[in-house]
Chain A
Amino acid sequence: MNLIAWPLIVSLLSGALCLALWSLPTWQRRIGLVGSGANLIIALLLFQRVWGDGVQVLHIANWHAPFGISLVADTLSAVMVLMTATMGLSVHFYSWFCMDRDMEKYGFHALFHFLLMGVYSSFLTGDIFNLYVSFEIMLIASFVLLALGNRRAQIEGALKYMALNLFGSFLFLGGAGILYGIVGSLNMADVAVKLSTVDNPSLTTSLALIFLIAFGLKAAVFPFFSWLPASYHTPPSAVSAIFAALLTKVGVYSLMRFFSLIFVQNQEFTHEIIATVGLLGMFFGVLGAMSKNELRRILSFHSISQIGYMVFAFALMTPLSVAGAIFYMIHHSIVKSNLFLISGTIHRAFGSYHLNRIGGLYRSHPLLSAVFLISALSLAGLPPLSGFFSKVFLVKASFVVDRPGAVFIMLLVGMFTLISMTKIFDKGFWRPLSPEHKPVPLDESKAAYVGMMLPIVFLSGLTLAMGLFAPYVFEVFLRAAEELIEPTQYLQRVLGGVD
């Protein structure tokens, strides 16, 4: 049995069932969680299959490539699906204990699964137009999730998020149309083969730039990031956490896929641009983060800086650097989403995300302090956590291609990240709460606190494990990177018609 379509089917079914049980929020919650759990099992099986047999292909309705829509899972896709399923289950479990009952009533669980369906489908599709449709599924679900709850800040955030992302979608759609006009195909593998024979560098390069802007907008790459800090701090923290884990990663993944498979003709130009915006994003993102005093705003700005690392490393296009970029992507999903979950727990205890209105957590919540410290230090890149190794690979890769300036910026940004994390730890955890700010706890039940801590501790353990077993994990990413740079197996399996 071919497993590729199952993550999509399970999310679609769970989402639809949740909609059908509109008036029974408790059942929605149960079905939602069962669906997320089932997807994790499927993702593990899919990964095992891909690891054993190589690239998996499913031609939908048996219309062979390039005529039908193909779903393709290579190592990178399988890793991303596994990451999505893990984050989906963790965040869904967390939301069980803290989600507003009103939001659950208005379809939180259904939207969550539709969002995941869009993400899975983006990671697994081998068709450009299908990728556009997946983006739209994901976007619509995320718009509603962002605005659900109807607070003023959420509406403001949703407007900005929507405006820029929709513009990106239309650019992508237009680009897909022009690409179809050039090569007459939409299957990624087929387009890659046919575009390599097109001898019109100015056309292909400008088309590549359209796609670069479209994916750059989704991934919050340097000049296009303004929607991210304007919106990520507004929804409930479970929603922020799943956004931080997945949405920008879909943009980075698509960028990697397109610029390693399709647009590889003019690398000195296109990949140099990607590297430059990566470095700029790294630097300006962290500067933005240092100027903020609200937990989730700080975290959002750090996302921009971390996305910079990923796209920069990818743009170097050596197996080591691309594997480093993938390592960074997985590490960042786990850690950043965990930090958002932790900030949600803090918000629950103090009724605020602002650093001046929280304090003394080190004394009152020792376990929370420990897991925050693990995630924060991992984000900054201290050994033996996953953030350290992702930076080690990137630094090494940059030295190999002789870019010492980039290494300098990376390490400088790492230090700034550490400073910014220290600021949170100092103000929120060590310093006692100043007497003029009374905490307004939202909910003080012990059981809910324990329930919320479970996924947080699990994710902290994951970043620790990724650091401790870095060589083994890296081996997986190295294979994914080699498949990206030399996509012969991908092309063969998709176009060869051999299942």
Chain B
Amino acid sequence: MQTTLALLSGVVFACGVFLLLRRNMVKFVFGLALISQAVNMAIFTAGGLVRHKAPLIAPDQDTLALGAADPLPQAMILTAIVIGFGILAFTIVLILRTYEVFGNVDIDEVRAVDR
């Protein structure tokens, strides 16, 4: 499972980088979204995969039972998803604005006159 997820995250990351390198900025946004998911998956996998052991402390215990899942990577991913969402929203607005101003979403065509 760990290997599959690690490979998957690598493949998704590679697809994201491929899209980032496109000239079309809409593809760039998709690339960004893919990379952010790949990174989240990498954190999830690196944090250790545990099945059927929820990180709940039993009523008569003070600490987590040994071998329970680690909740921290999920908290990190949750934060990262929220941040990634905000960034994606800003990117889309910026690209929309670029399209309005330059009439194009090709990065090579986006050249300001006053250089």
Residues of A near any B CB (own CB < 8 A): 129, 132-133, 136, 139-140, 143-144, 147, 150-153, 155-159, 162-163, 166-167, 169-170, 173-174, 176-178, 180-182, 184, 186, 234, 294
Contacts and interface: CB of A to CB of B under 8 A. Distances in A.
Contacts of A152: 101-102, 112-114
Given A152-B102, A158-B94, A163-B28, A180 B110 contact: no
28 contacts: A136-B83, A136-B87, A140-B87, A144-B90, A147-B97, A150-B101, A152-B112, A153-B112, A155-B101, A155-B102, A155-B112, A156-B110, A163-B20, A166-B91, A167-B20, A169-B87, A170-B39, A173-B80, A174-B13, A174-B39, A174-B42, A177-B42, A177-B76, A180-B46, A181-B43, A181-B47, A181-B48, A184-B70
B53 to A, nearest CB: 16
Given A153-B115, A156-B110, A166-B87, A173 B98 contact: no
Interface size range of chain B in the complex: 35 or more
Given A180-B72, A180-B73, A294-B115, 16 more contacts: A129-B76, A133-B79, A140-B87, A143-B90, A147-B94, A152-B114, A155-B98, A155-B101, A159-B94, A162-B91, A162-B94, A163-B20, A166-B87, A170-B39, A174-B38, A180-B43
Contacts of B113: 152-153
Interface string B1-25: 0000000000001000000100001
Contacts of B59: none
Contacts of B102: 152, 155
B98 A159 contact: yes
Contacts of A153: 112-115
Given A136-B83, A156-B110, A162-B94, A177 B101 contact: no
B90 A177 contact: no
B43 A173 contact: yes
Interface in B81-115: 83, 86-87, 90-91, 94-95, 97-98, 101-102, 107, 110-115
B86 to A, nearest CB: 7
Nearest to A172: B39
A61 to B, nearest CB: 15
A170 B110 contact: no
**Among the interface residues A157, A158, A166, which one has the most CB atoms of the partner chain B within 10 A?**
A166
A150 B43 CA distance: 37
Interface pairs A-B: 8 shortest CB-CB:
A181-B46, A177-B43, A153-B112, A152-B112, A174-B39, A156-B112, A136-B83, A178-B46
A177 B20 contact: no
A156 B25 CA distance: 12
Contacts of B115: 153, 294
Contacts of A294: 115
Contacts of B94: 143, 147, 155, 158-159, 162
Residue of A151, A180, A294 ringed by the most chain B CB atoms within 10 A: A180
Contacts of A167: 20, 35
- Chain B CB within 10 Å — which of A144, A157, A159 has the most? A159
A155 B110 contact: yes
Contacts of A144: 90
Nearest to A144: B90
B25 A159 contact: yes
Contact of A173 (B39, B45, B90, B97): B39
Nearest to A233: B115
Contact of A133 (B20, B36, B83, B91): B83
Contacts of A182: 46
Contact of B73 (A157, A158, A166, A177): A177
A277 B111 CA distance: 29
A22 B30 CA distance: 34
Contacts of B35: 167, 170
A25 to B, nearest CB: 23
Contacts of B28: 163
Contacts of A162: 90-91, 94
Query: Of residues B43, B111, B113, which shows the largest number of chain A Cβ atoms within 10 Å of its Cβ?
Result: B43
Contacts of B97: 147, 150, 155
Contacts of A163: 20, 28
A177 B47 contact: yes
A177 B72 CA distance: 10
A174 B77 CA distance: 10
Nearest to B16: A170
A186 B43 CA distance: 12
Nearest to A353: B114
B86 A140 contact: yes
B45 to A, nearest CB: 8
Contacts of B48: 181
Contacts of B110: 155-156, 159
Contacts of A147: 94, 97
A20 B68 CA distance: 45
Contacts of A174: 13, 38-39, 42-43
B92 to A, nearest CB: 11
Contacts of B87: 136, 139-140, 166, 169
B28 to A, nearest CB: 7
A181 B70 CA distance: 11
Nearest to B86: A140
A162 B13 CA distance: 18
